[in-house]
Structure 1
């Protein structure tokens, strides 16, 4: 993706957060500009052309705002010819434990042109609705090991045969970069009003092995930038 397109996307996607206040807007703008996962979402073939999204640990709903901005630029013909068409959201359901984040998401996504639902709750006992794409970005390490496995099994059981789980996890074997990412994740939780979390991490090879044992076919996608030991994984039911 070109730098010019990324700047336009960041500007449009973050503008939705201005009604939620300066903190929500600055956080959205900084995260969308610096986190490589958002550019990765526009890779050809990573996501279906359209689908229902379940965003677990959605935070401020940045995923929905980013893909909405991409769809708007594409529809308005402000889209480079060499860049494939972006994936579109047909319905979006977000869940997060942080009340402040959910409040900001509701304000930013209030005028979406697709059905949007944002719930405050714990994903460990959340009844998973029907979805074509389930996302878990930097979330699993907040859960103890048995809860991680239980959630992933429930996701596997809920996805349709052509469904996709897209998750980003830390590589617990990566040394200093991994420790840095843990500190950043913990600070974000504190700044959003949560308590200092206890993190439960695994090496990347262990994540791949666990997903395979639970009945997923997994494809890793490298992510450049940010300096952290994070791995983007696409998992599909076998």
Structure 2
């Protein structure tokens, strides 16, 4: 992976968040610069064939800014030859429960962005529409187990054949590594100005079994990098 190119991507993607203040800007830089799932999304082309993306628990819209920055750099001929084709986003919709994050998104993208729309809502109740891909990054564990199952079934129903569901979960069977990730998650949640709530985790095997029962082909990949954590990306495609 080209570190210089990733640095250029981070610069482009985080710049728009300056309008939301120091926290919004530095949070975006830290998230996009050091969280390897964003790098994997582009390098492996996980959302490249999905022009319409729905991000549930979208926060301030860091993922959307990342995809747009990639598209812009690729249009200028700046794209690594050994990466998958760049994304071509045409409709990016985010659902976020927290008012502060929705406000930061509005400052970053404006009220009438031609591609991005981030709205306040509860991902367990909102209408999902008909996107090509649905993402939930580090948010499913805030929902109790019954509503998790209901949401996953709705996600499957909303996606077309070949549609993608991309999520990241903590593997509750990973012992102390999972607990460490849990503690980090609580610190970040508090720093973003949100209250701490009960979390609902599952073992990786349980996540896989439920998703496969819904008709997804599931590819799991460790996303902890060199950190002693238990973060797992689940790349799920409708059969």
Bin of the TM-score, shorter chain as denominator length: over 0.9
Equivalent pair of 1:35/1:226 in contact (CA under 8 Å): no
The equivalent residue for 1:12 is: 12
- Structure 1 residue 159 displacement after superposition: 0.7
The equivalent residue for 2:149 is: 149
Query: Which structure 2 residues correspond to residues 1-238 of structure 1 after superposition, within 5 A?
Result: 1-110=1-110, 114-223=114-223, 225=225, 227=227, 228-238=229-239
**Partners of 1:163 and 1:234 in 2: CA distance:** 11
- Aligned length, in residue pairs: 238
**Partners of 1:41 and 1:138 in 2: CA distance:** 15
**Partners of 1:60 and 1:181 in 2: CA distance:** 21
Equivalent pair of 2:169/2:231 in contact (CA under 8 Å): yes
- The CA deviation string for residues 40-73 of structure 1, in whole angstroms up to 9 with x for no partner, is 1013342233410000000111111011111111
**Partners of 2:78 and 2:138 in 1: CA distance:** 31
Equivalent pair of 2:89/2:115 in contact (CA under 8 Å): no
Cα distance change of structure 1 residues 112 and 166 upon mapping to structure 2, 3 Å threshold: farther
Cα distance change of structure 1 residues 200 and 163 upon mapping to structure 2, 3 Å threshold: same
Q: SS state of the match for residue 135, structure 1? A: strand
Equivalent pair of 1:50/1:88 in contact (CA under 8 Å): yes
Cα distance change of structure 1 residues 127 and 50 upon mapping to structure 2, 3 Å threshold: closer
Question: Structure 1 unaligned runs (5+)?
Answer: none
**Partners of 2:213 and 2:114 in 1: CA distance:** 35
Equivalent pair of 1:164/1:236 in contact (CA under 8 Å): yes
Aligned-residue RMSD, C-alpha: 1.7
Equivalent pair of 1:98/1:192 in contact (CA under 8 Å): no
Cα distance change of structure 1 residues 105 and 50 upon mapping to structure 2, 3 Å threshold: same
Equivalent pair of 2:45/2:85 in contact (CA under 8 Å): no
Equivalent pair of 2:10/2:32 in contact (CA under 8 Å): yes
